[in-house]
A = this chain, B = another copy of it.
Amino acid sequence: MPPRLQSGAGNVRILVCASCRAAGADPDAPRPGAVLAAGLAQALDTACEASVTVETVECLSVCKRPCTVALAGEGRWTYVYGDLDPKDGVETLLTFARQYRDTHDGIVPWRERADAIRKGVVARIPPIAIASPT
């Protein structure tokens, strides 16, 4: 599992799958998810934006749609997106993460979502509290 770029201190977390690679890609080339995560980390650092954090994670099981990411936040729906470009995806994701952060439940109105976000949705999971085993 690749090292984490930044731990989840912020209240919105972008989890970038660093396992998958595009079909036919050079196996020794950097994984597109690692490129995307590094771009996001740099942009967040430049913006001194602590309310959004980015980290790489092991396989999100969406192997045919790199780059794949999950967005999660306290009390919010968790979203999974695929088909993100490792370069252009940085700005798209940062804009969306800010929109997501500024909602109370993670649901950004459809008309306000970028095209790549609309088309890239893979799944979403409601905000759930998991009971501890008794």
Interface residues of A (CB under 8 A from B): 8-11, 13, 15, 51, 57-62, 68, 70, 72-74, 78-80, 121-126, 128-134
Asked if residues B126 and A123 are in contact (CB atoms below 8 Å), the reply is no
> Dominant SS at the A interface?
loop
Kindly list chain B residues whose C-beta atoms are within 8 Å of the C-beta of A11. 130-134
Q: What is the oligomeric copy number?
A: 2
Q: Which of B9, B60, B62, B125 contacts A72 (CB 8 A)?
A: B125
Kindly list chain B residues whose C-beta atoms are within 8 Å of the C-beta of A57. 126
Asked if residues B73 and A130 are in contact (CB atoms below 8 Å), the reply is yes
CA distance A75 to B68 in the complex (A): 22
14 residue pairs bridging A and B, Cβ less than 8 Å apart: A10-B131, A13-B128, A57-B126, A60-B125, A61-B79, A61-B124, A70-B125, A73-B130, A74-B133, A80-B80, A80-B123, A122-B122, A123-B123, A125-B125
